[in-house]
């Protein structure tokens, strides 16, 4: 299996269209854990699906929180990518969706990638990006390098210096490399601030316990 495609029910038509395109391009796609036959041990089936996948494409609903099924898929995908960093987790962002925190956690904030999906015309670009991510040197050499089709948001990777590379696929905001880099830096800055605030909140609670 090449691609594990996770999607919310609300985006089913888009996900179906993407699945067809990926399969037409010769990629094997695991999709829709929720449709597993009743009585099947879904956790085992899900594990099989994620273990065999090389790339996780996660379609995000910008308007609604994820269902339990989708959370379970994200969880399994995250664990797999953490275990084997040669696999990639890439969010697909329709209608201006933000890169969700869990997708930035997949690489610990390093070399975060995302694919924008504004309309069906973007599907071909996503398929090209998926093929490059799967076939690229990263999967042969376990190096975090060189996909030109997906959008790198930079993040905190010391190797990239926090800057993104010029995407062949028009991604978030603008295909302009400077703005892409800005977006990656914005996420990294926001992540650091949120983390600092959250730890301060836990510390305040601890201080209250002391009194």
Applying CB under 8 A, the residues found at the interface with other proteins are 41-43, 65-66, 68-69, 71, 74-76, 78-79, 82-83, 101-102, 104-105, 107-109, 156, 187, 191, 194-195, 198-199, 201-203, 205-210
In the bound state with other proteins, the residue whose beta carbon lies nearer, of 14 and 76, is: 76
CA 2 distance to own-chain centroid: 15
User: Which tokens go with 196?
Assistant: 């600092």
In the bound state with other proteins, the residue whose beta carbon lies nearer, of 37 and 205, is: 205
Q: 18: closest CA among 127, 165, 170? A: 127
Q: Is 46 buried (19+), middle (13-18) or exposed (0-12) by CB count in 10 A?
A: buried
Min dist. Cβ of residue 102 to other proteins (A): 5
Please give the C-alpha separations between residue 120 and each of 15, 53, 58, 99, in angstroms, as whole numbers: 11, 24, 16, 20
In the bound state with other proteins, the residue whose beta carbon lies nearer, of 63 and 194, is: 194
CA distance 136 to 159: 18
In the bound state with other proteins, the residue whose beta carbon lies nearer, of 104 and 183, is: 104
Min dist. Cβ of residue 71 to other proteins (A): 5
Residues 6+ away with beta carbon under 8 Å from 118: 94, 95
Min dist. Cβ of residue 30 to other proteins (A): 18
In the bound state with other proteins, the residue whose beta carbon lies nearer, of 26 and 38, is: 38
Residue ranges in the chain assigned as alpha helix (H): 12-24, 42-52, 68-83, 101-105, 122-135, 137-141, 177-210
Min dist. Cβ of residue 48 to other proteins (A): 14
Please give the C-alpha separations between residue 203 and each of 44, 49, 72, 83, 200, in angstroms, as whole numbers: 39, 40, 30, 31, 5
Min dist. Cβ of residue 44 to other proteins (A): 10
In the bound state with other proteins, the residue whose beta carbon lies nearer, of 141 and 199, is: 199
How many CB atoms lie under 10 A from the CB of residue 37? 7
Min dist. Cβ of residue 95 to other proteins (A): 19
């Amino acid at each position: 299996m090449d691609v594990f495609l996770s999607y919310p029910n609300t985006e089913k038509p888009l996900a179906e269209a993407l699945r067809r395109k990926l399969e037409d391009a010769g990629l094997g796609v695991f999709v829709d854990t929720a449709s597993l036959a009743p009585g099947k041990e879904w956790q085992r089936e899900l594990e099989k699906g994620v273990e065999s996948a090389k790339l996780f494409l996660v379609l995000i609903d910008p308007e609604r929180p994820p269902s339990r099924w989708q959370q379970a898929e994200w969880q399994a995908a995250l664990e797999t990518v953490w275990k084997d960093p040669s696999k990639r987790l890439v969010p697909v962002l329709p209608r201006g969706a933000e890169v969700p925190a869990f997708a930035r956690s997949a690489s610990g904030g390093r070399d975060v990638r995302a694919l924008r999906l504004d309309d069906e015309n973007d599907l071909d670009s996503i398929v090209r990006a998926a093929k490059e991510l799967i076939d690229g040197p990263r999967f042969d050499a376990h190096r975090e390098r060189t996909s030109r089709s997906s959008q790198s948001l930079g993040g905190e990777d010391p190797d990239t210096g926090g800057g993104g590379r010029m995407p062949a696929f028009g991604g978030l905001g603008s295909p302009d490399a400077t703005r892409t880099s800005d977006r990656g830096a914005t996420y990294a800055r926001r992540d650091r601030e949120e983390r600092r605030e959250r730890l301060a909140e836990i510390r305040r609670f601890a201080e209250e316990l002391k009194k």
